[in-house]
Amino acid sequence: MTSILILNGPNLNLLGTRQPDVYGRTTLSDIEAMCRAKAAAMSVALAFAQSNSEGAMVDMIHAAKGTHDGIILNAGAYTHTSIALMDAVSSVELPVVELHLSNIHAREEFRHTSYIARVAVGVICGFGAHGYELALEAMAAHLEASA
Ligand code: CA2
């Protein structure tokens, strides 16, 4: 069975509790439940994780090799700063879909740069929590096409 890791970065554990104008009222637990339902309907195994620590995220990306077939990565603010996460993605040679709730290109200039995009199969942003379902579909289609 195809297995996908959804990895969420810093501050995403606060979703639904602050800045609802930017990030909506859906909590990360709500998103996880939605993703689990979607993955079950697609007959895909799913792991869902969140960390506020860059190093822990690097470790989880390394551990995905041999365990999961692809990674959906909302790296939060590390998207715009982390060469370490970019290198981790390159090193595991697993397909990565970069994901953001907000449209990072319609926001501050510093959010327009993504180190992850350089090593990702593709990027989904601006669709809020629904983007997680879109990313699952995109990853499953990518894995099927490259099988
Ligand atoms: O839009 C996204 O998904 C982001 O990855 C979210 C990050 C941001 O730094 C990226 O540029 C785009 C921030 C996540 C912060 O989440 C919060 C949730 C509630 C309250 C405060 C922050």
Any atom of ligand 1 within 6 Å of the Cβ of 15: yes
Long-range pairs for 25-29 at CB < 8 Å and ≥24 separation? 26/128, 26/129
For residue 82, the model assigns a pLDDT of 98
Structural domain harbouring 69: 3-146
- Tell me which residues are annotated as active site: 23, 100
Whose CA is closest to atom 12 on ligand 1? Answer: 76
What is the per-residue pLDDT across 78-118, written as a single tens digit (0 to 9) for each? Answer: 999 999 999 999 999 999 999 999 999 999 999 999 999 99
pLDDT at 61 over 90: yes
Element (H, E) at 112: none
81 in ligand 1 pocket by Cβ < 6 Å? no
Mark 120-129 as b/e (b = at least 16 C-beta within 10 Å): bbebbbebeb
Given a cut of 90, whether residue 26 has pLDDT beyond it is yes
Number of structural domains (the chain) is: 1
One-letter identity of residue 134: L
Q: Residue 73 is part of a domain; what is its CATH number?
A: 3.40.50.9100
More confident residue, 17 or 79: 79
Mean pLDDT for 14-26 is 87
17 CA to centre of ligand 1 in angstroms: 12
The number of beta carbons lying within 10 Å of the beta carbon of residue 66 is 8
> Cα Rg for the chain, rounded, in angstroms?
14
